[in-house]
Amino acid sequence: MFNISVDDKKIKIDKSLSIRDFSKKYFNNNHIIAAKVNGNLKDLSDNISEDCKLSFITTDQIEGLEILRHSCAHLLGHALKQIHPEVKMVIGPVINNGFYYDVLTEKPISESELPKIEKLMKKLSKKNYNIVREVVSREKAIQVFKDRSEDYKLKLIDDIPSDETIAIYHHEEYIDMCRGPHLVNTNLLKYFKLMKVSGSYWRGDSKNESLQRIYGTAWDTQKSLDDHLEKLAEADKRDHRKLGQRLDLFHFQEESPGMVFWHNNGWFIFNSVKTFITNYLIDNNYQIIDTPQILDKSLWKKSGHLDKFSDLIYQVSSEDKSYAIKPMSCPGHIQVFNQGLKSYKDLPIKYAEFGKVHRDEPSGTLHGLLRIRAFTQDDAHIFCTTDQIESEIGSLIDNIYSIYKVFGFDKIKVELSTRPEKRVGDDEIWDLSEDSLKKALNKNKVNWTINEGDGAFYGPKIDFSLTDSLDREWQLGTIQLDFSMPERLNASYVDKDGIKKVPVMIHRAILGSIERFVGILIEEYAGNMPLWLAPTQIVLMNITSDQDTYLDYVAQKLREKGFRVACDNRNEKISLKIRENTLAKIPYLLIIGDKEIESNTISVRSRLGNDIGQMTVDKFVKMLETLVRDKSLTL
């Protein structure tokens, strides 16, 4: 017998008892799936040591769900190998809300086969196979996967450092390699579904072998699974690509892959968002500038972008000179800053640009407006002194929260991304940069987490991710602190002591890509744009041609007040007009018949089907003016 500490409670246990047996004996809870032993995540099959501190992970916790999903990826592998023994397994990681497994197969696996694979997974899970972890030598691991002709597992073993533990996991005849941890038994895998099949590449490089990726989702209860599938179905209805076509907003075509053709209605939404941000820039003392689309490659080499992003940069040549189509605006903004002598009294200087940038994204990653090759950044750079960093970042944080709120997003996740392995600048500069961002976040009482090693190559950053009504996360805003690029591109100002110094540059974007943000808004609102963003705000419909004159009179009066109005005076039944204009998601439908002419009124309906009733045009105008002024999200 010896003592351990479980969630701060002292418990005396038998020395031979495993964590798995311990959890069954003392907690009688099959949903305990892993444990933290002395702060480290362990498998339940690991033995408890004397005086250890133990806490349990359950399936309803984030870590628990990730372990469950990782185990489900192995269950997928088990079923797949029984149906297609020739398939070679590659990797099967956890992703947001699910998992996937990349495989190499000569005969493609179609989505029509997923129900068969899923059925076998359920059958295997009910067999109550213990999931056994075995720590093995490198030599044994190589032999195990060589015997099974798992070529990619052998390649992965080559990547494992010599001092790192190699573990393999068994459930019956299936063997996989993984860091773990995993569940103790397959019977805990009950609520899952295979979703789709797509293409991928070995190591994510299009120059390597083509693989197939099978996606799945897994949850701890049937209700959680059902709720997730319901959200996915709703997301499919809101798909901005479908709504973009139905509402005549934009289109894409093969002659210009990853680049959007805006139609009138979509371009109106785009420019309304742009105007809103422009007004914010003016109110916050930004200088709005515009820089060239093409710059000499030597500038991109000097800034560091060419070495870091060469695969994404479009390159052109003219008269024996090489140029790059700009993938971002920062080097151009430094060129503007460098024009004329700057004093410390001039700082901070804020340059903003709606910069059209191009990035040669892999074709397989393109996704409507959400991932494209040509897009418009609401880009800005603030040149300031070190003493001004904290206040400038504090203002930016406030601005970002207030702007997102206008569009209805109030659930924001904030991450501080720290120095990556490949970076420019010395550690002293990075220490100062990261400390400055931490102070600004804490001073503004922001709830934030660390994202280790994910900073930009020139400096740490704060990333803002919003959560939409379907609980999907979208990373949008970013604030990046840069002590290096201004020096590399010879930016300077004269300080109060008369000495030239290098300014600090704060990179910031609030929406990121305007195109992407419009795509997010279309899905968030299901195409029902708020009144101030709606391309057509009002449609007037007459019952017969007898009301044509009055319809034109009302339309003209509304247009004079600045509203965007359409007239539907087709010789069709009013019920058909109402249905079609409702499907077009026009906010207000005005019906005009003889009764309205006699009373000098209009009958008002909303696209939601609400019959608001009869009112005068003046009353209707006042109602709309209030909604537009307040940027109301509701009608």
CB 501 within 8 Å of CB 533 = no
Question: Is 358 a catalytic site residue?
Answer: no
Q: Could you give the CA distance from residue 6 to residue 355 in angstroms, rounded to a whole number?
A: 56
Question: Is 379 a catalytic site residue?
Answer: yes
Q: What is the DSSP letter of 382?
A: E
In the beta sheet, which residues pair with residue 479? 462, 508
Can the peptide bond before residue 348 be classed as cis, meaning omega within 30 degrees of 0?
yes
- For residue 530, the tally of other CB atoms under 10 A from its CB is 21
- Both structure tokens of 200: 């991928």
In the beta sheet, which residues pair with residue 589? 539, 605
CB 182 within 8 Å of CB 67 = yes
Helix intervals (H) in 160-258: 222-237, 240-246
Q: Could you give the CA distance from residue 309 to residue 157 in angstroms, rounded to a whole number?
A: 29
Closest CA to 379 of 507, 282, 515: 507
Helix intervals (H) in 470-600: 485-488, 514-524, 548-560, 574-583, 594-599
- Both structure tokens of 548: 């044509």
Catalytic option among 70, 240, 333, 359: 359
CA angle 356, 360, 365 (to 5 degrees): 110
Query: Which residues, in sequence order, are CB contacts of 430 under 8 Å at separation 6+?
Result: 418, 419, 423, 459, 460
Catalytic option among 74, 240, 373, 461: 461
Question: Is 283 a catalytic site residue?
Answer: no
Catalytic option among 381, 423, 577, 585: 381
Catalytic option among 69, 133, 507, 605: 507
In 241-400, at which residue ranges do the beta strands (DSSP E only) sit?
A: 250-251, 261-262, 287-288, 294-296, 315-318, 321-325, 349-358, 374-384
- Both structure tokens of 31: 């949903």
The kind and range of the H/E element at 336 are helix 330-337
Query: Which residues, in sequence order, are CB contacts of 567 under 8 Å at separation 6+?
Result: 539, 540, 551, 552, 555
Question: Is 158 a catalytic site residue?
Answer: no
Question: Is 241 a catalytic site residue?
Answer: no
Question: Is 546 a catalytic site residue?
Answer: no
Question: Is 461 a catalytic site residue?
Answer: yes
> Pairing relation of β-strands 461-467 and 261-262?
unpaired
In the beta sheet, which residues pair with residue 89? 103
- Both structure tokens of 270: 């785009």
The kind and range of the H/E element at 58 are strand 53-58
Catalytic option among 102, 330, 468, 508: 330
Catalytic option among 102, 378, 379, 468: 379
3-state secondary structure of 184: coil
Catalytic option among 43, 182, 212, 377: 377
Residues with active-site annotation: 330, 359, 377, 379, 381, 461, 507
